[in-house]
């Protein structure tokens, strides 16, 4: 399968995506910290089956269990990421996938929402990737 994340078993990736779809959109929830409209799911920590992915020098933790996620608005999510380095959407894409996503978007004809579905990340994450706010190291 094209674009399969390196170093992950098929089972693990399928579980990751399935957990994501079960949770649905965070937009229909309010932020667990400030009560504003939530935008993204954030991993709360504490899952007994916690998984870890190392990206550059950071060790990011995540879970396949939606019960260990809470809806957060962008600003609270960023605050949490800075304090714990934990995010549902962080570190999901390989550098090759980031390049492919940007190339597809630059070629036109596909929306950020469609790219989000295709790559299994949130639309705000796609926006951050194509505008270079995230994955700055990927050229």
Q: Which residues bind Zn ion (CB under 5 A)?
A: 31, 33-34, 36, 73, 76
In angstroms, give the least distance from the CB of 3 to Zn ion.
32
In angstroms, give the least distance from the CB of 71 to Zn ion.
9
Beta carbon nearer to Zn ion, 79 or 94: 79
Contact 68, 43 (CB under 8 A): yes
Q: Which residues pair with 1 in a beta bridge?
A: none
Beta carbon nearer to Zn ion, 39 or 97: 39
In angstroms, give the least distance from the CB of 121 to Zn ion.
20
From the list 16, 12, 37, 34, the residue with the least C-alpha distance to 25 is: 37
Q: Report H helices in the chain.
A: 10-23, 74-84, 95-107, 112-119, 123-130
CA dist., res. 68 & res. 62, Å (int): 9
CA dist., res. 29 & res. 25, Å (int): 8
Beta carbon nearer to Zn ion, 31 or 90: 31
Beta carbon nearer to Zn ion, 97 or 122: 122
Beta carbon nearer to Zn ion, 54 or 75: 75
In angstroms, give the least distance from the CB of 31 to Zn ion.
3
In angstroms, give the least distance from the CB of 36 to Zn ion.
5
CA dist., res. 68 & res. 65, Å (int): 6
């Amino acid at each position: 399968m094209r674009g399969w994340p390196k170093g992950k078993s098929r089972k693990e990736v399928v579980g990751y995506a399935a957990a994501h779809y079960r949770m649905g959109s965070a937009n229909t929830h309010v932020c667990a910290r400030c009560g504003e409209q939530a935008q993204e799911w954030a991993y709360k920590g504490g899952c007994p089956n916690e998984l870890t992915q190392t990206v550059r020098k950071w060790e990011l933790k995540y879970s396949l269990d939606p019960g260990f996620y809470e809806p957060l608005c962008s600003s609270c999510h960023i605050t949490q990421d800075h304090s714990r380095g934990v995010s549902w959407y962080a570190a999901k894409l390989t550098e090759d996938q980031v390049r492919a996503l940007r190339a597809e978007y630059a070629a036109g004809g596909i929306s950020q929402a469609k790219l989000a579905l295709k790559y299994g990340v949130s639309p705000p994450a796609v926006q951050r990737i194509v505008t270079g706010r995230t994955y700055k190291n990927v050229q």
